[in-house]
Amino acid sequence: MKKIRLVRPAFSALVIAAAILIPVSSLSAPAEEPLRGTVTVVYDGDTLRVRLAGQKDERVRLIGVDSPELDDVREQVRLMAFLAKRFTFSRLFQSTVELLPGPEKRDVYGRLLAYIRTADGEMFNETLVREGYAYAYLKFPFDEAWKTRLKDAESAARRSGKGLWQREPYPVIGAPEAGRHPGEILTVRFRCLRSFKRGGFHILEADGAEFDAAIPVEVFKSLPGSLDFSGRTIEATGLVELYKGRPQVMIGVPVQLKRVDTFDSTNRVFLKRGWCRSALTLSRPQPEARGLLRAQSGESRDEPSRRSGPPGKRGAGLPSPGPGKAGAPAAVEWVD
């Protein structure tokens, strides 16, 4: 019995010493062993599909973050949701990641709840919030240390004006500069050399510069009529990405495209809120009409705020040509 009493204190001291040496950061790490796999689908900013090594695919929901919804009725929210999706896609698609499950393994939809660690050790949940593409989502229980990290990341994004917190209008650059700004939300202005279909996309190729605006077929169909972009000056707003080394902006919401020509043969112009078709065709616009079209296309300094006018009124805030203005469009029809 004496030997037993001598061993126990020594063993206890050894355990205590080992516990003291454990880094504090490891106390906040998920308890389960990480799962490894390849990201095969990005559904939105915070949800993706991962093909696990030797196992079936898992639909994964990131813990502690919440990106805007792609099906939101508000156009600006859909835009931010699309940009969040593109950010996650550009960082994770076809890359190998580690999934670190949280205290609750699955949500009510059966999705695996996890933190994602990239090959270079980056915790992507935190990065998504810090870069401004998601809010810290603290509703459900998870590690308190992680809650603090995510709240701090959101505060940093808000202070820096990143992602969701970035104010419009976005900085405008020329197409030749786009390759120097991958990962930034910008407006790229370019003259369209040609428009053509490639796979499931319509491509607007810049003239004299390496840059494309890529429009998925389903989005292209939502634009009014059969629009000829060739020879036109275009502004494409979005996340600048590199596709096979070539800079591009992916278009997921019509509001991302703006044609800065003030007038064309079909009398269609582009507003920040969407495509606009005037109810009256003008063969040669009068000065009053040209002023209205400039305001509609965003070229006038006096362009009204999108928030002006009564809420819910489509087209509210547009300048009125007033009675008796010869040559000015009599009405404006919104086409979302």
| Buried/exposed code over 125-138 (b: 16+ C-beta within 10 A; e: otherwise) | bbbbbbbbbbbbbb
At residue 90, what are phi and psi to the nearest 5 degrees? -65, -25
Pick the residue with more confidence: 240 or 258? 240
Pick the residue with more confidence: 283 or 9? 9
Mention every residue, 6+ apart, whose C-beta is less than 8 A from residue 1. Answer: none
Write the CA distances from 263 to 274, 287, 288, 295, 296, integer angstroms. 16, 12, 13, 12, 11
pTM here is: 0.69
Catalytic residue (one of 78, 86, 91, 111): 111
Pick the residue with more confidence: 174 or 56? 174
- Is 50 exceeded by the pLDDT of residue 205? yes
DSSP character at residue 74 = S
Is residue 184 flagged as an active site residue?
Answer: no
- Region 33-45: mean pLDDT is 96
- For the chain, the average pLDDT equals 76
Is residue 78 flagged as an active site residue?
Answer: no
Does domain 35-165 match CATH 2.40.50.90? yes
CATH topology match: 35-165 vs 172-259: yes
d(CA 139, CA 18): 34
| Buried/exposed code over 214-230 (b: 16+ C-beta within 10 A; e: otherwise) | bbeeebbeebeeebebe
**Gyration radius (Cα) of the chain, Å:** 26
Write the CA distances from 28 to 24, 107, 145, 148, integer angstroms. 8, 21, 6, 11
> 């990341």: which residue's tokens?
153
The CA-CA-CA angle for residues 294, 255, 328, to 5°, reads 25
Extract the runs of DSSP E, i.e. beta strands, from 45-108. 47-52, 57-62, 65-66, 96-106
| pLDDT one-digit tens code per residue, 41-85 | 999 999 999 999 887 899 999 999 999 999 999 999 999 999 999
- Is 50 exceeded by the pLDDT of residue 292? no
pLDDT of 201 reads 96
Q: Is residue 308 very low, low, confident or very high in pLDDT (cuts 50, 70, 90)?
A: very low
Pick the residue with more confidence: 179 or 306? 179
Pick the residue with more confidence: 89 or 13? 89
Share of the chain above pLDDT 70, in %: 67
Cβ 31 vs Cβ 114: under 8 Å? no
Q: Is residue 294 very low, low, confident or very high in pLDDT (cuts 50, 70, 90)?
A: very low
Catalytic residue (one of 58, 61, 91, 268): 61
Is residue 111 flagged as an active site residue?
Answer: yes
Domain boundaries, the chain: 35-165, 172-259, 262-304+319-336
Pick the residue with more confidence: 244 or 25? 244
- Is 70 exceeded by the pLDDT of residue 31? no
- Is 60 exceeded by the pLDDT of residue 219? yes
pLDDT of 224 reads 66
Share of the chain above pLDDT 90, in %: 58
Amino acid at 58: E
- Region 202-208: mean pLDDT is 95
> 């009493």: which residue's tokens?
5
Q: Is the dihedral of CA 59, 62, 65, 67 positive or negative?
A: negative
Q: Which fold has domain 172-259?
A: OB fold (Dihydrolipoamide Acetyltransferase, E2P) (2.40.50)
Catalytic residue (one of 69, 75, 210, 299): 69
The residue among 39, 88, 127, 41 whose CA lies nearest residue 250 is: 88
